[in-house]
Amino acid sequence: MEYRNIIEQAVAEIFSTMLFLEVTPQTGEPSTINEERMLSGMLGFAGDLQGTVLIHLPATVAIAITNAFLELDLDEVDNEVKDAIGELTNMVAGGIKFLLPQQQRDVQLSIPSVISGKGYTCATTGKALRCATGFETDGGPFVVEFLVK
């Protein structure tokens, strides 16, 4: 199944209705490895479809999104930023779940987690289909991954 269109539609809707930000999907295979400080929101799927939604953002982009989302003026990563990225991950995963074909909609979502650091990678155990889409906002680029077992 092609998940790219589902990811693009879910992200565009969340950003336009909840964050009032424009996003532009990028072409090509995005990289999720970056040597600057990053935040990654993760949320698992179980049921008819098993996998993980991940959102990878440079710290500066996470701060810009948080400022837009919560109407704040933060300049560093704090618990507000981490909570906002967790909620963003939850909303995007919920949007993806809603857009799944009918036969795959019996899916439960986990609680989102957020990690932060430099030079880390996120991987799933076992074999999984990876669909990753890069996006550009006024605040900078970010990547949404959907790993499906």
One DSSP character per residue, 73-141 reads: ---S--HHHHHHHHHHHHHHHHHHHHHS-GGG--EEE---EEEEEES-----SS--EEEEEEEEETTEE
Backbone angles phi, psi at 60, to 5 degrees: -65, -35
Whether the predicted pLDDT of 31 surpasses 60: yes
pLDDT-derived band at 32, boundaries 50, 70, 90? low
Regarding predicted confidence, which is higher, 29 or 56?
56
Backbone angles phi, psi at 101, to 5 degrees: -55, 150
- Tell me the C-alpha distance between 142 and 55, whole Å: 7
Using CA atoms of 58, 61, 67, 69 in order, give the dihedral in degrees to the nearest 10. Answer: -100
Whether the predicted pLDDT of 103 surpasses 90: no
3-class SS at 45? strand
**Mean pLDDT within 7-34:** 89
Whether the predicted pLDDT of 33 surpasses 70: no
Residue 95 in contact with residue 113, Cβ under 8 Å? no
Output the pLDDT for position 1: 54
- Tell me the C-alpha distance between 86 and 115, whole Å: 10
Domains and CATH numbers, the chain: 4-148 (3.40.1550.10)
**Mean pLDDT within 114-132:** 87
Whether the predicted pLDDT of 73 surpasses 80: yes
Backbone angles phi, psi at 94, to 5 degrees: -65, -40
Whether the predicted pLDDT of 27 surpasses 70: yes
Look at the pTM and tell me if it is higher than 0.85. yes
Beta carbons within 10 angstroms of residue 108's beta carbon = 11
